[in-house]
Structures are given as C-alpha cells and as structure tokens.
Amino acid sequence: MLILMTANLGAGAATIFVDGAGSGDFTSIQDAIDASEEGDLILVLNGTYRENLVVDKQIGLLGVGQPIVEGGAGSAPIITINASGVVLDGFILAGSTNESSDGGAVLVLSDGSKILNNTISSSLSHGICVLNSKDHMIYGNMISGSFKAGIRFAGANDSQIAANEIHQNAYGIFVEDSSSNWISNCGVWGNGADGISIESSLWNELVGNAIHNNSENGVYITKSSNNILISNWIYDNYESGIDLYESSNNMIVTNTIGRSAQTGINVDSSDNNVILLNALSYNDLNGIAIQGSKSNTVSENLVKENRESGISLRDESGENLITLNEISGNKRYGIVFDGSSINYVQANKITRNLDGIVIRYSRDNSVVENEIDYNNFGISLEFTQNVVVSTNSIQNCTRDGIRLLRCDNSKIYSNKVRENMADGVHMVKSTGTVVSSNDIDMNGEYGIQVLDHSDHNLFMLNVIRNSGTGGVYIFEGELNIVLSNALIDNGKFNGRDNGGNKWLSNSYSDYAGEEIAYRMVLGQYDDRFASEPGVVDIGADPYEIFGHRGSVTRDYKPFMNHFVTLGDRTLPGPPGDI
C-alpha cells in the first residue's frame, strides 16, 4: 500500500512521521499537514489524536497500526478534505460530533480522493460525506453507528465504493444527484433505514453487494433512471428487497432476493424498467409487485415460495411484458392482475401455486404460450373484457383449467386443457366470448360448463373428450352457439342444454343415426357424390341434446366423423364457399 500511495502522490515525495509520543517529526497530525508539500506522505504512528484535520493539499495520510483520531473540542468533521488527489488510509475515526447533513466524520469537497481501510464509527452525521466532486475511491472501510448515512454521495460522480462493511447506521449508503458511480462487493447490513438509497441519480451500478437485515428496504431507488443492479444478494430486509418509485429505465439483473418482510422487487409508478434473471423467494408478500407502472419487462426470473403472489400487477399497470419466468410454490397466485390492462403474459412456467393466473377488473390482456400445471385454478378471468388466452397448456389443476367469471368479449383459443379435476372451461355470467379450437381432454367433471346467464357466446372447433361427467353443459344461458365441436366419449353425455341455444354441425361419439353424404360446396344431400372431394358424411337424423323438464335442443347437421371437426380432412374451394 505504501508503494501504491507513493506512486499516486508522485516521485520525490517526502515522508513525514507523526508520533504522539514524541519520537517522530511531529506530535500533531495537523502540524505535519501544514508543514508538508504537495505530494508528501505523512505516516501517523499508533496512538490517539484529538484533532480536527483540514487537508488542503495533495498528500497521503497513512496510519501505521491504526491510529485513532477522535476530533477535538469543536463540532467540525474529524477530517475535511479540500484538495484533490488526497489519500487517507488506515485510521480509526471515532465519535465525530459534527451534526450537519453536509458533514460527517470525513467530509470530501474535492476530486480524486482515496479513502481506504479506515474504521469509522459513532458519527453524529454521516460516516463519509462526499459533495460535488468526482473520481473517488472508497475501499475497504468499516463504517458503523452513524446517525445519518454510513456513506453519503451528493453531486458526486464517476467514483467507486467497493469492499466496504457498512452496518448499523441510519442509512447504509445514500446517493443523491449523483451519476456513474460503482458500488460493489460491499456488506450493507443492520442499518436503521434503507441499505442503499438512490435518489435523483443516473447511471449508477450496484454489483455483488450483500444487503441484508436493514430496517426498511434493501435498495430504494426514487426519481432515478438508467441505474443497474447486478448480482446483489439481498435478503432479510424489513420492507422490500428492491423498491423502485417514480424511476425509469433501470435494469435489475441476476440478483438473489429473499425473505423480505414485504415484496422482493416492488415497482411503483415506474416505467420501462427491466427485471431479468433474478431469483426471488420466501418474501412475505409478492416476489415481484408492479403498481401504477407501464412498459416494464419481467423476464426469465425464478419466482418461488412467496407468501402471497409470484408476480402481481395492480393499480392501472399497463403494457408490461411478463415472459419466460418460472413461477412456483407461491401461496396465493402465480400471477395476478388487479385493475391492470393491456399487459402481455407469454411463455411462463407456472406450477404448484394456489392459483396459476388470476386476472380481475382488467381488460385487453393477453395470456399466451404458458405452461400452467398443478395449481388450483389454472387461469381465472374475473370481471374482465377483451382478454386473449391462447396456446397455453393447462393441466392437473385441482379445480377448473380455465374459469370465466363475468368475462366478456374475450377469445379463448388453441389451448390444451387436460386432466384438471373439475371443468376444462367453466363459464359464469359471461357474454360475447369465443371459445375455439381448444383441446379439452380428460377433465374430471365437464369439458365446458356454462352457468348463470352466460349469453351470446360461441363455442367452436373444440375437441372435448373423456370428460368425467359431460362434454358441454349449458345449464343457464341463451343465444349461445355450439358449432363444429368434436364431442368424444364424455362421461354421462356429450352435450346437455336447458334451452335457448343453437347446436350446429358438431360430431358426437354416441350418435346412432343413419349417415348421408353432403356436398359442402353446393349444399346438396346426395349419396352419389360420396366419393368426390368436398363431401362429408352427416347424420340423416338430428342429434338430440336433452335438458331439464323435458327440453330438447337439436343439432340438425351432426357430423358423422370427428376428423372433419379436427381439421384432418382438407375441403376444397375458397373459404367463402364452405
């Protein structure tokens, strides 16, 4: 370290010895500073020095055997650095009585300082306060017991804070109006407020820090943009692990965040942030919560075993992308939207939560290509409009695969809904929704069940087979259309309808009527055309769908072969002809 300091201070520097016992050049550190020249090195031998120091020239101060500087009778900082390029290394700085918000045990007011390997404790203000300057290195210090922050940067830029132990202060590190600083490999723990707080600041990086057991958030970022948090270990904080408020364009990548008393990552009124490849587990509320925020990307995170939800969107959060996350074992919801619209949920793996995806009081959301297994409800859409649910795999849920509760004007298509213990699709008080081209197989009760005045819906081109109780059951609803579905080997019945709906051109595995050739293009019944393209076999007799009190609904053109419904037979002619 002596060689490094000498190189930093320049060739030809004098070395001055300070020893309070009288064996050096000076007994007072300040006297040695006053007598020094630019570039000199002052070696301070072990002892206790009661002084308030002002360093106003480029020199190095090196403690030998950790001398103690306690401050004199005044309330000034223990050390005030007014010159650029000062090195302060190896001191114990204890009991600063300076109480100013712009003060501290060490106050830095000029550029290029190196504050290394010091122990700073019990300051009535900050441990280290750096104001309106740049190019500092703060390395290897232990800072504790400060009444304000262990380290405060205000208007301080292009600096490094590395390998410090910062504990039991009010704040650990407080950064405001500062940019392009690097905070790395620090232990920040047991502080009375936030571990690291970043306010009105840009382009700062937090890398590889251990931030834990702080009384508020692990990291709090407010009114700040373009900051990067990478590979930090953040756990056991009493509020959230990371809290973003009114902050945009920040990146939170490969952090491990656990056991927060609130949420792992909380995004509040903050837009265009990226949350990528983090592991979030055992937080007391949500793994990730987004509130009143837009255009955030949440991708490739591992979100598991949180006590509420894996990922939560609330309070008009919109245009967010939730993709490629693994979400498992959360005690309520894998993903929940509440009052949030125009979001996109794609290609997530959602397993063994209480419920998989729940969307409430929201509109215009899309849920596509997700794997949803072993939840209570797979997908539950409640009081929603214009939702798209497409190409998801929904399996082994203890209740319904897809539940629609007052879900209007939505599209549920091309999903695989299999082996759920209740219904494949369960619809309650929903209107104007299209359920089409789904593979609904081996569900415990009904393939599709329609309840409580669900009207004007279209059920089309679904394959519904091996349901435990029945294929399609319209218990209560009118003006629904059941068109060209394949209903195969469902328990007690393939179809049941209590009246007021249309069933058209479905295939039924239990149809026992005679068949007749039907030429699709010209609309002709004639067995002479049976071998020609465009001809299918339909039932000569209608298929009867029974309901309560003797009601009967008839499908007058049932297909004899479910392969037509499945799309395995190509019919000629332009789409308008068929």
Q: Considering only CA atoms, which of 81, 27, 73 is closest in space to residue 53?
A: 81
How far apart (Å, rounded) are the C-alpha atoms in residues 141 and 114? Answer: 11
Q: What is the pLDDT of residue 566?
A: 55
Q: Is 535 exposed, middle or buried (0-12, 13-18, 19+ CB in 10 A)?
A: buried
Window from 79-93, 242-256, 532-546 with minimum mean pLDDT: 532-546
**Type of residue numbered 369:** E
Averaged confidence pLDDT in the chain: 92
In this prediction, residue 578 has a pLDDT band, given cuts at 50, 70 and 90, of: very low
Q: Which residues are registered as beta bridge partners of 210?
A: 187, 233
Residue 135 structure tokens: 């190019």
How far apart (Å, rounded) are the C-alpha atoms in residues 347 and 391? Answer: 10
How far apart (Å, rounded) are the C-alpha atoms in residues 493 and 478? Answer: 20
**Type of residue numbered 455:** D
Q: What is the pLDDT of residue 10?
A: 53
Look up tokens 């959360």; give the residue. Answer: 330
Contact by Cβ (8 Å): 246, 225: no
Q: What is the pLDDT of residue 37?
A: 96
Q: How big is the CA angle at 149 (ends 147 and 152), to the nearest 5 degrees?
A: 140
- Judged against a pLDDT cut of 90, whether residue 465 lies above it is answered with yes
With a CB cutoff of 8 Å and minimum separation 6, the contacts of 58 are 9, 38, 39, 83, 84, 85, 86
Q: Considering only CA atoms, which of 454, 444, 442 is closest in space to residue 405?
A: 454
Contact by Cβ (8 Å): 280, 306: yes
With a CB cutoff of 8 Å and minimum separation 6, the contacts of 173 are 149, 150, 151, 152, 153, 161, 166, 183, 186, 188, 195, 196, 197
More confident residue, 39 or 536: 39
Q: What is the pLDDT of residue 564?
A: 54
More confident residue, 248 or 527: 248
- Judged against a pLDDT cut of 90, whether residue 250 lies above it is answered with yes
Say what the pTM is.
0.91
Look up tokens 């009124």; give the residue. Answer: 269
Homologous superfamily of domain range 1-216: Single-stranded right-handed beta-helix, Pectin lyase-like (2.160.20.10)
Please write the tens of the pLDDT for every residue from 380-407.
999 999 999 999 999 999 999 999 999 9
How far apart (Å, rounded) are the C-alpha atoms in residues 355 and 329? Answer: 10
Mean pLDDT to the nearest integer, 220-228: 98
Q: Return the half-sphere exposure (C-beta side, CA atoms, 13 A cut-off) of residue 442.
A: 7
- Judged against a pLDDT cut of 50, whether residue 97 lies above it is answered with yes
- Judged against a pLDDT cut of 80, whether residue 496 lies above it is answered with yes
**Type of residue numbered 238:** Y
Mean pLDDT to the nearest integer, 73-84: 92
- Judged against a pLDDT cut of 80, whether residue 23 lies above it is answered with yes
In this prediction, residue 571 has a pLDDT band, given cuts at 50, 70 and 90, of: very low
- Judged against a pLDDT cut of 80, whether residue 210 lies above it is answered with yes
pLDDT above 90: percentage of residues in the chain: 87
Mean pLDDT to the nearest integer, 311-331: 97
pLDDT above 70: percentage of residues in the chain: 92
Which strand (E) or helix (H) includes residue 302?
Answer: strand 302-304
Q: Is 576 exposed, middle or buried (0-12, 13-18, 19+ CB in 10 A)?
A: exposed
- Judged against a pLDDT cut of 60, whether residue 565 lies above it is answered with no
With a CB cutoff of 8 Å and minimum separation 6, the contacts of 36 are 14, 16, 42, 57, 59
Mean pLDDT to the nearest integer, 242-262: 98
For strand 502-504 and strand 137-139, is the pairing parallel, antiparallel, or unpaired?
unpaired
- Judged against a pLDDT cut of 80, whether residue 235 lies above it is answered with yes
Q: What is the pLDDT of residue 12?
A: 63
Mean pLDDT to the nearest integer, 139-158: 98
Residue 509 structure tokens: 């595995």
Contact by Cβ (8 Å): 209, 237: no
Residue 283 structure tokens: 């937080």
Window from 71-75, 82-86, 288-292, 465-469 with minimum mean pLDDT: 71-75
Q: What is the pLDDT of residue 530?
A: 46
- Judged against a pLDDT cut of 60, whether residue 92 lies above it is answered with yes
Count the residues in the chain. 578
Mean pLDDT to the nearest integer, 475-502: 95
Q: What is the pLDDT of residue 127?
A: 98
Please write the tens of the pLDDT for every residue from 29-44.
999 999 999 999 999 9
Q: Considering only CA atoms, which of 338, 259, 337, 258 is closest in space to residue 301?
A: 258
How far apart (Å, rounded) are the C-alpha atoms in residues 169 and 190? Answer: 8
In this prediction, residue 11 has a pLDDT band, given cuts at 50, 70 and 90, of: low
Q: Considering only CA atoms, which of 233, 283, 287 is closest in space to residue 260?
A: 283
Helix or strand or coil: residue 563?
Answer: helix
**Type of residue numbered 184:** S
How far apart (Å, rounded) are the C-alpha atoms in residues 287 and 170? Answer: 26
Q: What is the pLDDT of residue 474?
A: 96
Residue 27 structure tokens: 């007994």
Which strand (E) or helix (H) includes residue 332?
Answer: none
How far apart (Å, rounded) are the C-alpha atoms in residues 491 and 467? Answer: 6
Q: What is the pLDDT of residue 8?
A: 52
